[in-house]
């Protein structure tokens, strides 16, 4: 396990420090920074020291979405991450917000836990910050993983190459006016163990950073035969709502219902971005998207 040292990330010297023995360490407490994944470890330290008035960065270790591990206070220095649990608990922080924890980040958190167990010679209690303090930390996604036992794969089960499976569907029809890209809402959630969809009725169903393959099928009604239709996926940024557009598939309306099939054999969505599915028609009257499903295989990066 490689750990980026304090010197390597440019840490300030602590104002003071207290240490404990391995006999005192009984807990492993997982946190998130509740800031953007682009936060630097030094900026977190500056906030803790200058904003909170602490002696040093609060955590013992930190992990970013790429899976890199950073030395905070280290193994046996008392932290400032959970009142009444700073001596007994090793505090490890994932840099990001709820939903940002990648499989790589989870694997690295688990690696820190395994190394702590090796050094202590016995297991530590796995906790989320909310288990010991009134807080939403470390977010629902990461907390669910902690309560599942922190599986080393970083996902639900199996080895690190096993993809997450997402299957969602429409429960309510949507209007399809001419010339307007309509983002499909997925009201029904059939399978989503890794919480890529996250909320019933939400349009996003793949969360980055990840590699993915997907198939979307929708039923369109109310258009004149021969009307041109198009379908595509987009990647929308959480931070500013900016959009990256994927390849477009071409379709033609039939007399009666038209079924659009759109597939993405392989693509990558970056950190802080989510995949959505859109349809447009180029007729003169308003049609309806009356049903549909989307299925995806997702490998978190």
DSSP letters of the chain? ---B-HHHHTPPPPS---B--TTT--EEEEEE-SS-TT--HHHHHHIIIIIS--SS-S-SEEE-TT--EEESS-SSB--SSSTT-TTTEEEEEESS-TT---HHHHHHHHHHHHHHHHHHTS--EEEEGGGTSSS-TT-HHHHHHHHTT--TTSSSSS-TTPPEEEEEE--S-EEE-BT--EEPP--EEEEETT-SS-STT-S--EESSEEEEEEEEEEEES--TT-EEEEEEEEEETTT--EEEEEEEEEEPPSS-EEEEEEEEEEEE-TTEEEEEEEEE-SSS-EEEEEEEEEEEEEE-
Residues 210 and 255 in one domain: yes
Q: Does the model's pTM come out above 0.75?
A: no
Domain count along the chain: 2
The answer to whether residues 265 and 206 belong to one domain is: yes
In a domain, 156, yes or no: no
Residue 220 pLDDT: 97
pLDDT in tens, 101-157: 988 899 999 999 999 999 999 889 999 999 999 999 999 889 988 888 887 765 543
In a domain, 159, yes or no: no
155: in domain: no
Of 100, 116, 148, the residue that ends a domain is: 148
Q: Are residues 130 and 183 in the same domain?
A: no
| Boundary of a domain, candidates 148, 176, 211 | 148
Residue 199: the pLDDT is: 66
Residue 281: which CATH number? 2.60.120.40
Looking at the fold, whether 79 and 174 belong to one and the same domain comes out as: no
Q: What is the DSSP string of 153-207?
A: TSSSSS-TTPPEEEEEE--S-EEE-BT--EEPP--EEEEETT-SS-STT-S--EE
132 and 202 together in one domain: no
Nearest to 190 by CA among 270, 292, 290: 292
Tokens coding 62: 């930190």
Last residue of a domain, one of 148, 179, 214: 148
Residues 261 and 210 in one domain: yes
Please tell me whether residues 194 and 271 are part of one structural domain.
Answer: yes
CATH of the domain at 90: 3.40.80.10
Give the pLDDT confidence score for residue 153 in this predicted structure.
64
Asked if residue 154 belongs to a domain, the reply is no
Supply the pLDDT for residue 225. Answer: 95
Question: Is 153 contained in some domain?
Answer: no
**Mean pLDDT of residues grouped by 10 in the chain (301 residues)?**
94 97 97 93 97 97 94 98 97 93 91 92 92 93 87 53 84 96 93 76 84 92 96 91 90 94 84 92 96 89 65
Residue 241 lies in a domain: yes
Give the structural domain span for 12: 3-148
Q: Say whether both 169 and 144 belong to one domain.
A: no
Residue 121 maps to a domain: yes
* Residue at 158 is within a domain: no
Cβ contacts of 251 within 8 Å, gap of 6 or more: 228, 229, 230, 231, 258, 260
Please check whether residues 177 and 295 belong to one and the same domain.
Answer: yes
Tell whether 78 and 188 lie within a shared domain.
Answer: no
| Statement to judge: residues 168 and 296 lie in one domain | yes
Do 273 and 184 reside in the same domain of the chain?
Answer: yes
């Amino acid at each position: 396990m490689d750990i980026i040292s304090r010197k390597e990330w440019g840490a300030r010297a602590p104002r003071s420090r207290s240490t404990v023995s391995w006999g005192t360490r009984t807990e492993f407490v997982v946190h998130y920074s509740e800031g953007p994944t682009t936060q630097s470890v030094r900026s977190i330290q500056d906030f803790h020291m200058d904003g909170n008035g602490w002696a040093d960065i609060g955590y013992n270790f930190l992990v970013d979405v790429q899976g890199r591990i950073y030395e905070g206070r280290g193994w046996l220095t008392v932290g400032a991450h959970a009142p009444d649990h700073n001596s007994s608990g090793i505090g490890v922080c994932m840099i990001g917000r709820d939903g940002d924890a990648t499989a790589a980040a989870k694997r690295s958190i688990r690696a820190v836990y395994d190394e702590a167990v090796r050094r202590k010679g016995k297991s530590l209690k796995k906790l989320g910050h909310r288990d010991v303090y009134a807080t939403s930390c470390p977010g629902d996604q990461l907390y669910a993983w902690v309560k599942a036992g922190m599986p080393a794969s970083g996902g639900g089960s199996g080895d690190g190459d096993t993809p997450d499976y997402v299957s969602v569907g429409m429960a309510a029809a949507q209007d399809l006016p001419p010339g307007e890209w309509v983002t499909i809402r997925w009201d029904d959630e059939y399978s989503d163990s890794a919480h890529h969809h996250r909320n019933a009725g939400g349009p996003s169903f793949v969360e980055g950073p990840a590699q993915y393959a997907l198939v979307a099928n929708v039923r369109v009604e109310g258009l004149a035969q021969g009307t041109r239709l198009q379908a595509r996926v987009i990647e929308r940024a959480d931070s500013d709502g900016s959009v990256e557009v994927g390849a477009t598939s071409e379709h033609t309306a039939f007399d009666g219902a038209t079924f659009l099939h759109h597939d993405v054999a392989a693509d990558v969505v970056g950190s802080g971005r989510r995949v959505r599915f859109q349809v447009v028609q180029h007729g003169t009257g308003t049609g309806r998207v009356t049903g549909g499903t989307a299925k995806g295989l997702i490998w978190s990066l």
